[in-house]
Structures are given as structure tokens and as C-alpha cells.
Amino acid sequence: MSHLKEIKVSETAPRRTGIVSSAKRDKSCQVSMEYLSRHPKYGKYVRQRTVLHVHDEENAAKVGDRVEIAECRPISKTKSWVLLRVVEPAAATE
């Protein structure tokens, strides 16, 4: 799969930050972004999340890391985002 090293991310591509929720697959991880939205009828704030499948070429992301991702061309059926950098590593658990 040498064609994956040629993934180019444009300067104007949408970028997001989120928390890695799963890093079990090779060269892939799941990033979840949580947000609050107001319920239309009751007005209560509801916690929601978006889960994105991200291409991680070097397997740099671990569970709990805060990462920056950018949108790119479709890599597979579910992956259309690529990992740019690990913003903040997960806290060490002992």
C-alpha cells in the first residue's frame, strides 16, 4: 500500500481536534469529538459525540490522546480523515 504515503492535505482542509477512543487497528484509529446541544423541545443540554475514522500512518496515536486531524480524500469506505499530530498525550495511568 505505497499509495497511502502520498496523501496530501491542503492548507484549506477542515481541521478538528478530538480524543482517540480506539487505536486497535493497524494504521487506523477512532477519534471522538463531544459537544453539547440544546434539545429543541425541552431545552435541556444533551451531550452528543461524533466518531471519525482516521488514518494514522505511523501508529502514533494511543487511547486518550488529544489529536489534530484533517479531512482528505477517501482512503477506504469509512476513512476520510488523516492524523496530523498528537496535541496532548494521554495521562499515564499507574
Report the predicted TM-score, pTM, of the whole model to 2 decimal places.
Answer: 0.85
Q: Tell me: the pLDDT tens digits for 51-83? A: 999 999 999 999 999 999 999 999 999 999 999
Residue whose C-alpha is closest to residue 63's, from 29, 33, 28: 29
Supply the range of the domain harboring residue 71.
Answer: 13-88
pLDDT grade for 5, boundaries at 50, 70 and 90: low
73 located within any domain: yes
Chain Cα centroid distance, residue 62: 11
Asked if residue 93 belongs to a domain, the reply is no
> Does residue 68 fall inside a structural domain?
yes
28: domain CATH number is 2.40.50.140
Average confidence score pLDDT of the chain:
91
| Number of domain units in the chain | 1
- On whether residue 18 sits in a domain, the answer given is yes
Is residue 5, in this structure, part of any structural domain at all? no
Whether the per-residue pLDDT at 8 is higher than 90: the answer is no
